């Protein structure tokens, strides 16, 4: 059997030193817990088969709470297997902010939303962007810089990224 | 033009950091594109999207204006830098903005918007860490992607410690990064306007792609209420789907990353909540997102470049930096020497000529030797050496009349303009070689005398530290004419093209080539033929090169029509036939020569594949070789043939992996560039003198590579065909 997009996502994230875990809607809360570090804030997981309601994550934080937080949990619109990327949607709920102004970003994506490659990703972007004006960030691993003389993980954005892939609920 | 002492200084102060970083990027590029299964197809796709977009640019800009306005933003087309800056200043003034935070944008460097805003009393803060270091140091970028590439970690630490006097002096890259993040984070939070560039903008949706890794561009947009994006008009492409090949290629081609941390696909004004971090009451979902957005597209010479058949390709450039990193000269001197007002590296000649004018391009254009290694590296396949050649040709036109009285009689070129005396000397090397052979050995003795070399250095700028080629009295054509060989039932029939160097200088390699081909059953003739025009072309003398090309085609055509293949020993000449002749000859003549021309080892390989016996060639019995291919030969992907044939003949081959030997035709002979040339060569010397290689026989395919290796090493060198003879 050939590798699924999720297999490829898991293996690419492995090479990027990004912890990735597959879980189910039922086991989600338990699975998320070890990925939270310090004060955790988040954006409700619209469109994902999981919820932050019964977790330790402060959903829809104030700006001050975001600034004080260490971990930010957001949904990802989809993920790109080949590249180990997650797509953070721009949303009025502030996914972009919560994934950026923290030291650890935890991205949650549905397994059915893992596309194999960049071509599939841009087919999806094209359709969505023409249907409704919107923005998204293809985020791959932590923020990084080589401008200070050697590679440093954690520049202006997070120094760590974790990804949780939620398998579809049993039929 | 940088003087030798300026080049020496820049190599001494910045060379080590530039060299380490660019070579690292270049190695990363090879690794990263090697992981793509469809690299060439992606490049072709990227190229065709750019060709189409530039062709349809006015229409795409109209469409973009409609989409940007429908999205709630404003599109402004600025004619030039002043126009752009005036618009940006008015937007900033309307917001009563005190601080503008910027992410990295070469286009904003081009228009010098920081200086324009500073005059209005606006605090402009660069938030990309490399740009910020340069802003603190008051220096300019030395590389289009990694602007502070010329600075070492120690020099950055020294700068930051001195300027900010932190409680604990900063030393490591992590400490410096953390300090900068905190310092800049506060400035970003309080800023009024966020300014970004844009790598690509799609006409269908008004979406701009920003290729970044630090997260500062995202923060600069998210933390401010007004977003200004500045970009060249050439950044517009038709649709969102068109972004895909560029997203896959840009990081790989530049810094060797499969993808950068963030590809922001922003369709401004973005709806991310506007944030005030002191607010501890309002949840994010209840915040407004009322942003202004201004897209400033800058012409500044670009539409004129679009109308210029020779400079148009420059507009396909996606500013990835591959041409800088893959350039052997850039690796030594960096963008402060190999660059103009804003842009650096090989493609900068096109940008600077189009934006600033020929004078600016003339400052650094001769650092491009035409080695062509950037052509393979460029994700949109721009013929960067050709752009450099064209600009050199136009610059020659500006030196009207300088030396005409001296050289018109000696130099039979076709130039209506007046290249410098040095350029005409090298450009007319064929005439010199003919005289040289006719008068050899007297001509060699005469030119080797101290007074002669001093005069050559003074008048022609030929460095006296270089050994000059020794002309041979009996040329290859003379030798072949006297031979009486007949091949019974020949396997193939061929013309061995007597290139300038094989004919007059490296005659032995030509004789070896003839004998090797004959031993494989090929009937070979060596007719007199004009030189290829490589020499004048490298001096920007296009009219003369075209005249050579036409005469070569005329000379070889009857042989080709008679059923002969054309075999070429000198790699820079087969590269002429394959690449540059397409621009110099009409399509029919070009096709005839290009499709019937073979590099000598490519030809031998073809013979062996088609039934000739390798046993008829001399074998090496495991002899150990160190082989340096030739830059243009590698661009044409011809190196593998040499390796394959040598291995079949039982030689044990190790190859160099430097991009160029540094000699590059006449470049290394010029006093101005002797030291750069030797610095480039030092990598090759290191590779061929380490324990693994120091006892290996040195072979190289190119004339200038052999000359350079003779100067670099203390052991003899030869063309690999001589080993099979």
Q: Where are the domains of chain B?
A: 4-302, 476-723
Is B176's CB within 8 Å of A148's CB? yes
Q: Which of A141-155, B49-63, B104-118, B431-445 has the lowest mean pLDDT?
A: B431-445
Joined together, the tokens standing for residue B426 give 């090298």
- B292 or B449: which carries more pLDDT confidence? B292
The whole-angstrom distance between B296's CA and the closest CA on chain A is 19
Interface test with A, best of B41, B214, B245 (most A CBs within 10 A): B214
pLDDT of residue B408 exceeding 50, the answer is no
* Helices marked H in B35-128: 39-55, 57-71, 81-94, 106-111, 113-119
Give the pLDDT band of residue B409 (cuts 50, 70, 90). very low
Please give the Cα distance from B538 to B530 (Å, whole number).
Answer: 17
What is the reported pLDDT for B411?
58
pLDDT of residue B449 exceeding 80, the answer is no
Interface test with A, best of B218, B227, B247 (most A CBs within 10 A): B218
Return phi, psi of residue B193, to 5°.
-130, 135
Interface test with A, best of B153, B177, B229 (most A CBs within 10 A): B177
- Which among B154, B145, B536 is positioned nearest to B319, based on CA atoms? B145
What is the reported pLDDT for B448?
73
Chain B residues touching residue A145 (CB < 8 angstroms): 129-130, 177, 213-214
B322-337 mean pLDDT? 98
For residue A59, the chain B residue with the least C-alpha distance is: B283
Is A140's CB within 8 Å of B259's CB? yes
pLDDT in tens, A62-73: 999 999 999 999
Chain B residues touching residue A137 (CB < 8 angstroms): 218, 262-265
The shortest CB-CB distance from B207 to any of A129, A141, A158 is to: A129
Cβ neighbours around B66 below 10 Å, total: 12
Of chain A, the percentage scoring pLDDT greater than 70 comes to 98
What is the reported pLDDT for B412?
61
What is the reported pLDDT for B402?
45
Cβ neighbours around A27 below 10 Å, total: 14
What is the reported pLDDT for B403?
46
Is A134's CB within 8 Å of B239's CB? no
The whole-angstrom distance between B644's CA and the closest CA on chain A is 34
Q: What is the mean pLDDT of chain B?
A: 94
For residue A159, the chain B residue with the least C-alpha distance is: B214
Is B272's CB within 8 Å of A154's CB? no
Interface of A with B in 127-166 (CB under 8 A): 129-130, 133-152, 154-158
- Which among A89, A72, A96, A38 is positioned nearest to B275, based on CA atoms? A96
pLDDT of residue B156 exceeding 50, the answer is yes
N-term to C-term CA, chain A:
23
A1 touches B: beta carbon within 8 Å = no
The shortest CB-CB distance from A122 to any of B214, B241, B283 is to: B241
pLDDT of residue B623 exceeding 80, the answer is yes
What is the reported pLDDT for B278?
92
Rg (CA), chain B: 28
pLDDT of residue B599 exceeding 50, the answer is yes
The CA–CA distances, whole Å, from B602 to B138, B498, B500, B514, B574 equal 52, 17, 20, 15, 11
B226-252 mean pLDDT? 98
B213 touches A: beta carbon within 8 Å = yes
- Position of tokens 């960067």? B384
CATH 3.40.50.10420: does it fit domain B4-302? yes
pLDDT of residue B410 exceeding 60, the answer is no
pLDDT of residue A171 exceeding 60, the answer is no
Q: Which of B244-253, B355-364, B454-463 has the lowest mean pLDDT?
A: B454-463
Interface of B with A in 588-607 (CB under 8 A): none
What is the reported pLDDT for B406?
44
B92-104 mean pLDDT? 97
Please give the Cα distance from B292 to B436 (Å, whole number).
Answer: 71
B522-540 mean pLDDT? 96
pLDDT in tens, B164-207: 999 999 999 999 999 999 999 999 999 999 999 999 999 999 99
ipTM passes above 0.95: yes
pLDDT in tens, B32-58: 999 999 999 999 999 999 999 999 999
What is the reported pLDDT for B391?
96
For residue A58, the chain B residue with the least C-alpha distance is: B283
Of chain B, the percentage scoring pLDDT greater than 90 comes to 87
B459 touches A: beta carbon within 8 Å = no
What is the reported pLDDT for A102?
98
- The DSSP code for B567 is E
- Domains of chain A with CATH codes: 5-166 (3.40.50.10420)
Return phi, psi of residue A86, to 5°.
-115, 145
Is A125's CB within 8 Å of B219's CB? no
Give the pLDDT band of residue B404 (cuts 50, 70, 90). very low
Return phi, psi of residue B285, to 5°.
-65, -15
Angle between helices B674-689 and B703-712 (to 10 degrees): 80
What is the reported pLDDT for B399?
57
∠ CA B92-B96-B99 to the nearest 5 degrees? 65
Chain A residues touching residue B214 (CB < 8 angstroms): 143-145, 147, 155-157
Give the pLDDT band of residue B414 (cuts 50, 70, 90). confident
The whole-angstrom distance between B30's CA and the closest CA on chain A is 18
């Amino acid at each position: 059997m050939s590798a699924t997009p999720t297999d490829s996502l898991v293996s690419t994230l492995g090479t990027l030193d990004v912890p990735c875990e597959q879980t189910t809607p039922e086991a989600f809360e338990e699975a998320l817990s070890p990925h939270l570090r310090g004060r955790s804030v988040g954006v409700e997981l619209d469109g994902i088969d999981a919820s932050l309601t019964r977790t330790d994550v402060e959903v829809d934080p104030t700006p001050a709470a975001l600034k004080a937080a260490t971990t930010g949990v957001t949904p990802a619109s989809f993920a790109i297997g080949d590249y180990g990327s997650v797509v953070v949607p721009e949303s009025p709920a502030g996914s972009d902010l919560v994934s950026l102004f923290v030291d650890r970003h935890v991205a949650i994506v549905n397994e059915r939303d893992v596309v194999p490659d960049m071509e599939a990703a841009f087919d999806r972007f094209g359709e969505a962007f023409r249907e409704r004006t919107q923005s998204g960030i293809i985020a791959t691993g932590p923020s990084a810089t080589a401008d200070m003389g050697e590679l440093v993980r954690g520049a202006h954005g997070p120094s760590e990224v974790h990804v949780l892939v939620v398998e579809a609920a049993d039929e | 033009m940088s003087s030798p002492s300026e080049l020496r200084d820049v190599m001494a102060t910045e060379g080590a950091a530039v060299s380490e970083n660019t070579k690292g990027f270049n190695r990363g590029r090879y690794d990263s594109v090697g992981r793509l299964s469809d690299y060439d197809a992606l490049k072709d796709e990227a190229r065709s999207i750019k060709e189409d977009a530039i062709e349809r640019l006015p229409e795409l800009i109209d469409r973009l204006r409609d989409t940007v306005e429908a999205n709630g933003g404003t599109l402004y087309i600025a004619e030039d830098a002043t126009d752009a800056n005036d618009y940006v200043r008015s937007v900033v003034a309307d917001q009563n903005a005190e601080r503008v935070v910027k992410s990295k944008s070469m286009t904003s460097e081009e228009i010098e918007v920081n200086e324009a805003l500073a005059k209005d009393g606006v605090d402009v803060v660069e938030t990309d860490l490399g740009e910020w270091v340069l802003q603190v140091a008051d220096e300019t970028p030395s590389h289009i992607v990694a602007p502070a590439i010329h600075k070492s970690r120690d020099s950055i630490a020294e700068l930051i410690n001195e300027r900010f006097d932190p409680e604990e002096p900063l030393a490591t890259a992590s400490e410096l990064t953390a300090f900068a993040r905190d310092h800049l984070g506060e400035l970003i939070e309080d800023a009024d306007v966020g300014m970004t560039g844009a790598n690509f903008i799609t006409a269908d949706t008004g979406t701009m792609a920003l290729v970044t890794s630090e997260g500062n561009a995202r923060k600069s947009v998210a933390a401010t209420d007004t977003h200004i994006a500045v970009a060249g008009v050439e950044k517009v492409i038709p649709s969102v789907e068109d972004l895909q090949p560029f997203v896959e290629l840009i990081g790989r081609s530049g810094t060797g990353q499969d993808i950068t941390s963030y590809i922001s696909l922003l369709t401004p004004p973005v709806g991310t909540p506007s944030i005030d971090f002191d607010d501890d009451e309002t949840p994010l979902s209840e915040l407004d997102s009322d942003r202004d957005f201004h897209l400033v597209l800058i012409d500044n010479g670009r539409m004129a470049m679009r109308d210029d058949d020779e400079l148009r390709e420059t507009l396909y450039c996606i500013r990835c930096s591959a041409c800088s990193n893959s350039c052997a000269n850039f690796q030594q001197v960096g963008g402060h020497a190999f660059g103009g007002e804003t842009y650096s590296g090989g493609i900068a000649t096109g940008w600077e000529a189009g934006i600033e004018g020929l004078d600016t391009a003339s400052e650094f254009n001769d650092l491009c030797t035409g080695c062509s290694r950037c052509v393979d590296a460029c994700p949109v396949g721009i013929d960067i050496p050709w752009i450099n050649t064209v600009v050199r040709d136009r610059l020659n036109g500006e030196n009207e009349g300088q030396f005409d009285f001296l050289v018109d009689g000696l130099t039979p070129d076709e130039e209506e303009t007046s290249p410098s005396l040095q350029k005409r000397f090298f450009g007319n090397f064929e005439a010199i070689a003919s005289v040289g052979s006719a008068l050899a050995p007297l001509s060699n003795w005469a030119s080797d005398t101290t007074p002669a070399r001093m005069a050559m250095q003074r008048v022609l700028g030929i460095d006296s530290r270089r050994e000059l080629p020794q002309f041979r009295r009996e040329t290859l054509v003379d030798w072949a004419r006297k031979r009486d060989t007949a091949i019974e039932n020949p396997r193939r029939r061929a013309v061995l093209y007597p290139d300038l160097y094989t004919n007059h200088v490296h005659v032995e390699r030509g004789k070896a080539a003839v004998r090797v081909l004959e031993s494989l059953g090929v009937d070979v003739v060596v007719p007199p033929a004009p030189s290829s025009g490589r020499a004048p072309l490298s001096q920007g003398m296009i009219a003369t090169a075209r005249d050579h090309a036409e005469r070569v085609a005329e000379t070889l055509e009857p042989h080709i029509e008679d059923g002969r293949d054309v075999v070429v020993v000198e790699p820079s000449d087969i590269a002429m036939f394959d690449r540059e002749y397409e621009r110099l000859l009409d399509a029919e003549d070009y096709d005839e020569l290009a499709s019937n021309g073979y590099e000598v080892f490519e030809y031998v390989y073809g013979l062996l594949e088609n039934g000739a016996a390798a046993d008829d060639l001399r074998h090496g019995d495991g002899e150990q070789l160190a082989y340096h291919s030739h830059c243009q030969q590698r661009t044409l992907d011809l190196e593998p043939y040499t390796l394959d044939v040598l291995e079949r003949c039982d030689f044990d081959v190790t190859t160099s992996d430097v991009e160029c030997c540094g000699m590059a035709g006449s470049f290394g002979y010029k006093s101005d560039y002797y030291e750069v040339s030797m610095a480039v060569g030092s990598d090759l010397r290191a590779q061929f003198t380490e324990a693994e290689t120091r006892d290996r026989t040195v072979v190289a395919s190119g004339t200038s590579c052999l000359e350079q290796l003779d100067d670099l090493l203390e052991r003899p060198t030869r063309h690999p065909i001589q080993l099979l003879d």
